[in-house]
Structure 1
């Protein structure tokens, strides 16, 4: 994929699921798509072989062979009847194989709403009533063995949500809510990517799904629900700078006065594996660089540069954001 060359080795280690292997399913919804893909590859190979054989007969076959394989009967059988039978059978089999992808959500499903933005992913974990229980960005955490219903929306233009190892891909269309189901059979990090061209930074619009053992997932969600500790020292100064610099007008941090919705929710940014929707490993150095000049790292994104802030202020803000776990 075109965005891989900008990744450093530390980024790949942070992601560990990148690049996403397309034909290596890790759940039941992706398995059906992979099976269908191999069948289509085999069919394409068989059709190619038939076409090459026909071409050889036409160019190098004997007159007798050409006359036997020509005529109206062969055209009807090989040119019309065979494609109709094969394609109809393939259509019926494909629909039956992938029918679970469109199964209505079940009450036992975990529900997550993902909104495509230019060029990042807004993530909301929903409660049973459909209300927002927790906000995040660019990462989705799920338990192993549980089906997850993902509600997909877009706030601007058409994006496409794709986690190759867990499910198929589906477009995110402004003004419409599409639904996709996915499931992971083993713990791990599963990379995803926007699969619909959506502008200059489209290739830099990645995300990840992190699958936990059920007990680990319960502990993870419980930790997210607890209030963050009050920052001290340099982080406390960073918290004040965060407010004074106007960061809270675009970003939300739970439990603080920052309630902006234009940019990613930063309530748990310190625990994320990457920054910038998958383009940088998340550490203090990359956080300082991102705040100071995000346009040089991801051209076209909507965050302004804060190059006028001195280095010690950028460091303090990064130290504060590190505490948000």
Structure 2
């Protein structure tokens, strides 16, 4: 690719990242209907207005954003009015003499004092908001570790024998604070769930922390907001807020190993998967133990694929495996060249990973 085309692609991807943050096709959030919280991942999420909060960590940040937006707009209006007055008002001779003698400096002094006081007040307000959202109001009920990769998110739960990992999905119980430990495996990314929290960067070699809390069940979309490369626009994730009982069932299911395939086609597919995919991907209960790509133990339980790029269906999953560079150009996932028979075998094996 020529430097000009690479630069153009970078600009387009940067614009798409803003669009993904403000108006994604998959929608930002959906609240659960009564009795529906246990199956939130089963359907699409219609678009919801992203400038609102659904949790105590996001509300102070939202108010700060509206306040700053109002102040900036007011400043722009004042400057525009002053420019218009200066353009159309004809000065009298005594006004020019007053300016030459320094009489007009009083206006400058007053404006400087007002601006300084206003900026100082804004700084105090911003620091108070930072202090308010720095720590949860009570001890976190859950701690998860989120590691950002180019261009997907790894989510680790638990320690030791109870540990498991998911990809691009964060499940949390409703009504309790959750501590999110943020890391990066490559470059600087930014973790942002607009309706649940503010933005926090993930920096290589450093560990940042953030807490989130959802007041009600729902699916809340998150997005990387720090430009991190060609597929920055397609680095999304989803937060599933569930009632405690539903969350406990999901947690228990995720701790189980993948079942061994029973059909001849599935057995051949697992062998083929372990030969070609195990260097990057892991499947608990098998020989696949890769760490550089998403854990696929329960891949079919996820709603989206490729960090929110496509909906997770058996057909889309096989299309992603064989044409990853067409669906998400530049991703580290190579196109897997499979014959029709091999594709059928792999598809039969992946169908067991629920």
TM-score by length of structure 2 reads 0.81
**Residue of structure 2 equivalent to 1:23:** 51
Counterparts of 1:59-98 in structure 2 under 5 Å? 59-61=87-89, 63=91, 67=95, 71-78=104-111, 80-98=112-130
Aligned counterpart in structure 2 of residue 315 of structure 1, from 344, 347, 350: 344
Whether the 8 Å CA contact 1:249–1:260 is kept in 2: the answer is: yes
SS of the residue 2:115 aligns to: helix
Structure 1 residue 177 and structure 2 residue 237: aligned? no
Whether the 8 Å CA contact 1:204–1:279 is kept in 2: the answer is: yes
Question: Structure 2: how far apart are the matches of 1:16 and 1:62?
Answer: 61
Aligned counterpart in structure 2 of residue 116 of structure 1, from 137, 148, 158: 148
Question: Structure 2: how far apart are the matches of 1:8 and 1:33?
Answer: 25
Structure 1 residue 44 and structure 2 residue 78: aligned? no
Aligned counterpart in structure 1 of residue 222 of structure 2, from 185, 188, 192: 192
Change (3 A) 1:104 1:177: farther
Q: Cα offset for 1:229? A: 3.1
**Residue of structure 2 equivalent to 1:224:** 254
Question: Structure 1: how far apart are the matches of 2:198 and 2:161?
Answer: 26
Q: Give unmatched runs, 5+ long, in structure 1.
A: none
**Residue of structure 2 equivalent to 1:256:** 286
Aligned counterpart in structure 1 of residue 333 of structure 2, from 280, 303, 307: 303
Question: Structure 1: how far apart are the matches of 2:25 and 2:349?
Answer: 25
SS of the residue 1:165 aligns to: coil
SS of the residue 2:170 aligns to: strand
SS of the residue 1:161 aligns to: strand
Q: Cα offset for 1:22? A: 3.6
Question: Structure 1: how far apart are the matches of 2:46 and 2:267?
Answer: 35
**Residue of structure 2 equivalent to 1:206:** 236
Q: Cα offset for 1:199? A: 1.2
Give the number of aligned pairs: 318
Question: Structure 2: how far apart are the matches of 1:193 and 1:294?
Answer: 20
Whether the 8 Å CA contact 1:21–1:165 is kept in 2: the answer is: no
SS of the residue 2:211 aligns to: strand
Q: Cα offset for 1:87? A: 1.2
SS of the residue 1:28 aligns to: coil
Aligned counterpart in structure 2 of residue 270 of structure 1, from 287, 295, 300: 300
Q: Cα offset for 1:240? A: 2.5
Structure 1 residue 288 and structure 2 residue 318: aligned? yes
TM-score by length of structure 1 reads 0.88
Whether the 8 Å CA contact 2:58–2:195 is kept in 1: the answer is: yes
Alpha-carbon displacement from aligned partner over 1:61-108 (angstroms, at most 9, x marks no partner): 3547x9499712211111x11011111112112222332321279643
Q: Cα offset for 1:208? A: 1.0
SS of the residue 1:98 aligns to: helix
Change (3 A) 1:86 1:133: same
Q: Give unmatched runs, 5+ long, in structure 2.
A: 1-14, 30-40
C-alpha RMSD of the superposition: 2.9
Question: Structure 2: how far apart are the matches of 1:264 and 1:74?
Answer: 62
Whether the 8 Å CA contact 1:144–1:214 is kept in 2: the answer is: yes
